[in-house]
Amino acid sequence: MLEILREINAILWGPPSLILLAGTGLFLTLQLKGMQFSKLGYAFKLAFTKDKSDDDAEGDVSNFKTLMTSLAGMIGNGNIAGVATAITLGGPGALFWMWLVGLLGMATKYSEALLAQMYRVKNKNGEYSSGPMYYIEKGLGSKFKWLAVLFAFFAAFAALGIGNGVQSNTIADVMENSFNVTGWVTGVILVILVGLIVFGGIKRISNVAGVFVPVMAVLYIVSALLILALNYDQIIPAFGLIFKHAFTPVSAAGGFSGIVVMQAMQHGVSKGIFSNEAGLGTVALIAGNARTTHPAKQALVAMTSTFIVTIVVCTMTGLVLIVTGFWDASGGLISGVSHNPNLEAGALTSAAFGSSLGAIGEYIVSISVVFFGFSTIIAWYVYGIKCFEYLFGLKYIAAYGVIYITATFLGTVADLSTVWAFADTANALMMIPNLVGLLFLYKVIKAETQEFFANPVQKMNM
């Protein structure tokens, strides 16, 4: 199974997909005139200050809670385990490609959220439903319904792997390494906790995310900054390695096989997408629930999530791994810092933190993995049921919930390599229909954005 998935991923994440992904981000960046850079400050203002005009707007939850739910799906083990996997498999240069796909992806994320607000619908429970399947079908017409169905199917399926199995697997791995808790025990605990929250609906999930995400993100980032301060003399050399190996291979040494540039690019892009989800369309599955007076406002808020996740959190993880020498998959043969070469993903990041902060550093990462992973699992449940609802209606949502919780347990006892390979496959399969939809609807995105920023009242509020 693992070999089959690897062969599939070599095709799905080959040059055509990388060109489609980066090309869509670049194309939208040009169409929006680099808005993700010029309007970033205003976007953060909208995200973290209350706009009273939104109080009476249509929607289920506030802009801030929508952002927190979206971040719950992104600030997870993709930022801890995913970055470690990308750098050990693709070298330090993988971080450069994560940055690039993140910066371009901000325009993609903005566009996804904008269309989500524009084409959202109310379901029979009185809640809003949105996502690429709605803006593909409603924006492009019924002749593209097949593409909308493909996205919904792949995303509902992907939620079981990328947002669930990968997270529970990494949680179980760290719980066993740090606390000697057997995988199946972790699985049972997760099943109980996830079940209690996910069946409480979108408002309960957004409330939990609004508490979990800010606290854990601050704790993790502060800890990473402390390590970088302790290793300040290695920061500039670390950036040198990142830029050097983004364009030149990592030489083989000892048991280390070496890394070519294409591996750095492939792992950087695929794990970058896993961490920030720009291009996957997931933000569109929650953005339609936001209370806002204009689609562009929620889109700007959603855009900040990619910056926070990639440019801040992933960079912190990557730099810690590099300055401590734990990026070297050969066990320190290249970097000169000896460590256990059998450590993987979250356990590797945990060990890197522990090398500078001692036992407390390992525990900080371990606890972060547990809480980030848990919040990601519940956020991706929202994504999964939105897609399942589109395909089959509300009648069978409970059945999907049972399948989802079962996948949570299975993830804790599955092989790590297979789970990660499956996540990469699922990412690509849901990404392609969404990107096609965005490219066809770029004129709508551009016109709605221009209308928003041309409003005299809006200019006064910026």
Q: Residue 79: what pLDDT?
A: 73
Nearest to 117 by CA among 316, 267, 292: 292
Distance (Å) of CA 322 to CA 6, 42, 262: 26, 33, 20
The per-residue pLDDT for 36 is: 94
The predicted pLDDT at position 230 comes to 92
Ranges under pLDDT 70 in the chain? 52-57, 59-60, 72-74, 76-78, 200-206, 209-210, 212, 249-261, 267, 270-271, 274, 329-347, 416, 419-420, 456-462
Tokens 């953060």 identify what position? 44
* DSSP code at position 461: H
pLDDT value at position 101? 87
C-alpha distances (whole Å) from 272 to each of 5, 213, 387, 415 are 19, 19, 23, 22
CA 209 – CA 201 distance, rounded (Å) = 13
Distances 62 to 102, 171, 203, 361, 453 between C-alpha atoms, Å: 25, 30, 10, 34, 22
Q: Say if residues 304 and 119 touch (Cβ distance below 8 Å).
A: no
Question: What pLDDT score was predicted for residue 229?
Answer: 93
Please list the residues that pair with 253 across neighbouring strands.
256
The string of pLDDT tens digits covering residues 349-370 is 777 888 888 888 878 878 887 8
The pLDDT, as a whole number, for residue 253 is 46
Angstrom distances, CA of residue 451 to CA of 65, 110, 190, 446: 26, 15, 46, 9
Residue 296, pLDDT score: 94
Which single residue is written with the structure tokens 């502060």? 222
Q: What are phi and psi of 345, to 5 degrees?
A: 45, -125
Q: What is the pLDDT of residue 384?
A: 92
* pLDDT tens, residue by residue, 91-138: 888 899 889 889 999 999 999 999 999 999 998 888 889 999 999 999
Domain spans of the chain?
2-454
- What class does CATH assign to 2-454? mainly alpha
Question: What's the pLDDT at 76?
Answer: 64
pTM score of the predicted model: 0.86
Contact criterion met (CB below 8 Å) for 212 and 371: yes
Instruction: Output the pLDDT for position 255.
Output: 42
The answer to whether 65 touches 206, Cβ cutoff 8 Å, is yes
Calculate the CA 46 to chain-centre distance: 21
Nearest to 387 by CA among 201, 114, 56, 132: 132
Secondary-structure percent of the chain, ordered helix, strand, coil, rounded to 5: 80, 0, 20
